Structure formats: C-alpha cells, structure tokens
Amino acid sequence: MGLLPTPDRPAGEQGPDRSRVRLTGGDDAFGLDAQTVLGWIRSLGIEVTDPVRLDRIGAGQSNLTFRVTDAEGRRWALRRPPLGPLLASAHNVAREARILSALHGTDLPTPAVHGVRYHRDVPHVLMEFVDGLVVDRMSIAEALSLRRRRAIGSSLARTLARIHAVDLDKTGLGDIASHKPYAQRQLKRWSLQWERSKTREMPHLDALTERLQVSAPVQQELTLVHGDFHLRNVVTSGRYGDIVAVLDWELCTLGDPMADVGTMLAYWSEHGEPSLGGPSPSILPGFPTREELVHAYLRHTGRDAATLGFWHALGLWKIAIIGVGVLRRALEEPHNRSETGTPTQEEIESLIAKADEAASAAGI
C-alpha cells in the first residue's frame, strides 16, 4: 500500500443522496469490500467506526466514485478506475492523487487525499468528501435560483483562471507531462484513443481530425491544464454558488490554457445544441452564455482568445471520442454504466456534427 502524506480534514456533504449501488458486505463486482475499506481507513490513522457503507455516487462514467460512510456519519470519497480492459494511460487515479496532493495548500479548492491503495493491481484513492452541491443533472439545476445559477457560472470562469495560475515550480508539477506543443499531443492521444475504442467506422470524424491537425495553433504558453473542466466536475457552495472543490483531475496535464476554455465551452451547450446524456443545465435561464463565460475568463487572465475557435472545435471532437469510449466500456461491462445513462450513437454523431460546425466557424 502506497500512502500520500496529507493532513486529514473533516468529511463533508457532496449534494443529495444519488446512490445507485450500495455495498455493505463481501466482495462486489466493483472489487470493493466494506471490511477491507474499514481496515484501510484505520491503517491511515483516521478515526472510523464500524460498520462502513459504500454507495456509488455521481453521474461520472469514467473513474468510479463511492461515498464511504461510517456508523458515526463520517464520510469520505473513494475513487477507482472503471471495470474491464482499459486503454493505456487512461483512468490513472494514482496520478490524479499525486496532482491533488501537490495542489493541497494552494488557493485552489481541491479535496485532500488521505491515501492510495492497490488491490489486485487496481489503484484505489481515499479522499476528503467535500461539503456542497454537484450540479450534475437537470433536476438539480432547475431547483436553483436564477441568481445562484449566475453565481455558479461566474465562479467557473474565476476558478479556471486560478487553475491556470498555479505555480508549477512551487507545486512540483512541472514534470507531470511533456512540454511539447499541446495541440499536437492532444490530437495524437485522442486519435489513438479513437482507434482503440471505436465501435464502428466514422469517416466524418476522421476527416475532422485531419482538418484539426493541419490547423493546430502554435503554442504560446504552458500552464497546468485540468483537461476536463466543466459544471459536473466541481462542487459548489450549498448556499452561494461559489466553487468549493474541483474534482476529476485524471486528464490533468501541462499545455495551452485556452484548451481548458475550449473544453468548458464544448460542455456548455446552448439551446438546440447536442450534449451527451441529455440537455445540459447550461441552457437554463440565469446561467451565463458561452460568450459571457469567455469574457469573464479573459477579464481575470488578460489572455487573448484568438485560438479559442480551434480549441472549442477540438473540445467537441474530444468529448465525442470520450463518449465512444464510455459507450464501449458500458457494452463490455454493464456495471460501468452510470444511473444517468450511457451516451448513444446518435448523441455522439450529433457532437461530431457540432464539432465540424465549430471548426468551420473558426476557419478550419
């Protein structure tokens, strides 16, 4: 068992109970055993009272997240990769734990990591359970006031600016990835993921890939990049709407900060636009428009948005490929399915069409 020495902080509440799977006893399809988890927590020197219960939470369909609750109501979050065969370098929760530990103590809101444990060569990460609300489905967003929706959107832009301001030398994160041009690295990585995870040929996606490859902008800056920054990957304050934790750092790397802005916009769909898993909460009144999000980010950073059209198109292209991977994992191992459903072939096709449209709008 490898441990990451980080201070313990109280567990908290992360939105309403959205449990789909509850584990209280022996070994389960997820490779988790409540008694083993109990012993692990005790070995970390953390106070815990038997029995513990594990509930799968969240709408994520990549790494699996569980809430661990003991008899006294104390809570932690436990993360592990999805089930079944995995693509090389994907779903690396141990690397994610290293990044979170490095960010602990900065002004960036992240959960504290308590430890990393390997079970049958599969890494499991135990971390703080952050108090707040995850707006990961339409019903939660609909219950929010217009003012709170606006506050959440504004906080997204501010928080992304803070991610890109992280000092790589002070945090020791300057070596987590290559310093070579990020656009080419992303195109190479996700093209390879597409080849390994596709369920059928899509010539229109291949054509878009070629257009993106010949239009990749010259890299001007290198910062920490979250890689998957969007509304469902943050915890917001239960009262005010400011972001109290940024989650899901498995795609974190070093690269062009505008790539994160493009990804955020790709997830931030507007009326009539496609999204995976049904309509995005961002279409509701009160949430800022994409243009307002961009302006807020630029005000905080002073950066130039000249390459944003490319990164928006690449973000949509990447999400479509991620959707294909999620669909394939769900077909191969049904336990990987989220309660919110699995991306459909039609949704993926629509995203590719939207990516093509965004590329054309950017002159690609």
Alpha-carbon distances, residue 81 vs 92, 166, 223 (angstroms): 7, 27, 26
Q: What's residue 345's pLDDT?
A: 84
Alpha-carbon distances, residue 234 vs 155, 209, 273, 274, 337 (angstroms): 10, 29, 22, 21, 21
Segment (H or E) for 318: helix 308-332
Least confident of 43-57, 72-86, 171-185: 72-86
Question: 17: pLDDT confidence band, cut at 50, 70 and 90?
Answer: very low
Give me the mean pLDDT over the 89-93 stretch: 64
Residue 27 has pLDDT above 80, yes or no: no
Q: What's residue 6's pLDDT?
A: 31
Residue 323 has pLDDT above 50, yes or no: yes
Check: CB of residue 233 under 8 Å from CB of residue 246: yes
Residue 274 has pLDDT above 50, yes or no: yes
Give me the mean pLDDT over the 240-250 stretch: 94
Least confident of 62-71, 273-282, 300-309, 333-342: 333-342
Q: What's residue 31's pLDDT?
A: 66
Check: CB of residue 362 under 8 Å from CB of residue 313: yes
Q: What's residue 2's pLDDT?
A: 32
Question: 106: pLDDT confidence band, cut at 50, 70 and 90?
Answer: very high
Least confident of 52-66, 85-99, 344-358: 85-99
The share of the chain scoring above pLDDT 70, in percent, equals 84
Check: CB of residue 317 under 8 Å from CB of residue 187: no
Least confident of 6-15, 117-126, 274-283: 6-15
Q: Residue written as tokens 């229109």?
A: 204
Q: What's residue 108's pLDDT?
A: 96
Residue 243 tokens, joined? 């972001």
Query: Which residue type is seen at 25?
Result: G
Q: What's residue 278's pLDDT?
A: 76
Please state, in angstroms and rounded to a whole number, the distance separating the CA atoms of residues 201 and 66.
Answer: 35
Residue 12 has pLDDT above 90, yes or no: no
Q: What's residue 88's pLDDT?
A: 46
Q: What's residue 8's pLDDT?
A: 30
Residue 1 has pLDDT above 70, yes or no: no
Residue 87 has pLDDT above 60, yes or no: no
> What are the chain's domains?
22-128 (3.30.200.20), 138-361 (3.90.1200.10)
The share of the chain scoring above pLDDT 90, in percent, equals 67
**Of 268, 283, 363, residue with least CA distance to 319:** 268
